[in-house]
Amino acid sequence: MHSFEMQFNTCLLLVYIASGIMILEGFDLRKRGSRLFAALLAAGVVANVLALRAFGIERYLRVYPVVSLLFLLATSMLISRYRGIKTVFVFLTAVIWVSPLLLGAHAAALVLGNNYLVKLVSYVALSVPMLLLLKLYFRPPLLYLLDNYHRGWALFCAVPFLCAFVSYYQTRYRFLYDLETFRETGIWQLSLSVLSFLTYLLIVEYARQIRERLEAKGVSQLLQTQLQGALQHMESLKHSERQAAVYVHDLRHHLRYIHSLAAEKNCDGITAYVAGIERSIDQPAAHAFCKNETVNLILSSFRAQAERRGVSMDIRADIPEKLDIPDADLCVIISNALENAIEAASAVGDRERVVRFSCHMKNSQLLLEIANPFEGEVKIEDGAVADEDGLGTKSIALIVEKHAGLCSFEAKNGEFALRVIL
């Protein structure tokens, strides 16, 4: 009976951990990598069952972390979109998600009787809400951190790893088939489980605060850009008003002279004089890069900044007046990208200082590309700029993720390029 129960527990737990990994990684079973993961998982389940039958329960439990957990970790590393410690964090998260399942199933067995049917019903009843909780509540902030942050992951892994290690060291997983072991160790196992989940709640709260901070920064940038545009427009109006006052003051003199020419019937003189007046009136229209007012304000502001820093801008924009993307989000993307581009281009020495901006619509999607020269070294890790002190590219990645878009950063041959599809 114990052998059958262990086979049942082994298969169920491996599938459950693998499900947690697939939820966090966003695997699609229709894709080749996900199908490979499923095939390796099936092979791992078979290998564990054979090892259990060959070694017996006691010897099998001693090597369980190797034949089960480390095998599953190695399998996930083969197809994970993350590398190194991030893959370990995803794996440990899925392992920690097993603890409520085990605690609930064995607690039910203590109350209702120790048989595999009770545990099976408990596993199913707990696994569905736990996996939904992982997908709907924990996955979005965890993925944001995984995609955008590249430091501190060893600390994030420390608590779940220590909890899993202590649980193995103290029990050798004997509680999987021995209720007496669970009766003796259940309280501190519950404490370890609670500690792990509190850690994940702190991580989630940390991610949410960062997102709110970046969103607030985006709104602030939009307001600042709009303020700069309004100030420029106000200055232009004041200049036009001063010019109008001069023209009104001189109008009397112009009319007198035209009247004298008319009295002499000098039509050619009148025509030439009026043409001269028209040429002297300076009414430069504000340059409109595209139909979108928000983008025009942003581009005007940053073009002025670029000129002050000795950087020229090649702007090609064909953006409609209305977009599905909120102005605040559009401002975050363009402002952060142009700010970084102008700063990098202004420091390239004797090379051409040009920032190329291209933005247009295609198939109802906004396509944005910003390229600039740079000096030094830019590292791209996991599709993002690594070791960045500021929040520029992180803000861009956040907004793109929010709208289910795509963004890429490329540094090649002394030129940095940002490409965004929304």
Domain that residue 153 falls in: 2-213
Residue 244 and residue 188 share a domain: no
Residue 272 and residue 297 share a domain: no
Nearest by Cα to 387 from 152, 214, 81, 207: 152
Residue 391 and residue 338 share a domain: yes
Look up residue 65 and give its two tokens: 């972390």
Is residue 288 situated within a structural domain?
no
pLDDT at 299: 86
Residue 208 and residue 225 share a domain: no
pLDDT at 293: 81
Half-sphere exposure for 100 (CA within 13 Å, toward CB): 17
The full DSSP string for 298-357 is HHHHHHHHHHHTT-EEEEEEE--S--SS-HHHHHHHHHHHHHHHHHHHTTSTTS--EEEE
Contacts for 343 with CB less than 8 Å, ≥ 6 apart: none
Tally of domains in the chain: 3
Look up residue 329 and give its two tokens: 């989000």
pLDDT at 372: 92
pLDDT at 390: 45
pLDDT at 285: 47
Residue 122 and residue 32 share a domain: yes
Residue 222 and residue 198 share a domain: no
Q: Which of 213, 234, 265 is the last residue of a domain?
A: 213
Is residue 287 situated within a structural domain?
no
Residue 315 and residue 272 share a domain: no
pLDDT at 1: 45
Residue 411 and residue 390 share a domain: yes
Which residues is 356 bridged to in the sheet? 314, 371
The one-letter code for the residue type at 293 is E
Residue 57 and residue 200 share a domain: yes
Residue 254 and residue 192 share a domain: no
Residue 62 and residue 196 share a domain: yes
Q: Name the helix (H) or strand (E) containing 411.
A: strand 406-412
Q: Which of 232, 259, 280 is the last residue of a domain?
A: 280
pLDDT at 144: 80
Is residue 334 situated within a structural domain?
yes
Look up residue 201 and give its two tokens: 């709640």
The strand pair at 354-362 and 312-318 is best described as: parallel
pTM for the whole structure: 0.57
How many Cβ atoms from other residues are within 10 Å of residue 338's Cβ?
Answer: 24
Is residue 286 situated within a structural domain?
no
Contacts for 281 with CB less than 8 Å, ≥ 6 apart: 243, 247
Residue 181 CA from chain centroid, whole number: 44
Q: Name the helix (H) or strand (E) containing 410.
A: strand 406-412
The one-letter code for the residue type at 294 is T
Report CA torsion sign: 173, 25, 137, 41: negative
How high is the mean pLDDT in each 10-residue block of the chain (422 residues)? 66 83 75 74 81 79 77 83 86 86 80 76 86 88 80 85 80 68 75 85 85 72 62 58 66 74 79 75 61 83 86 90 82 85 86 90 89 80 52 73 83 87 88
Torsion region of 173: left, alpha or beta (phi above 0 gives left; psi -120 to 50 gives alpha): left
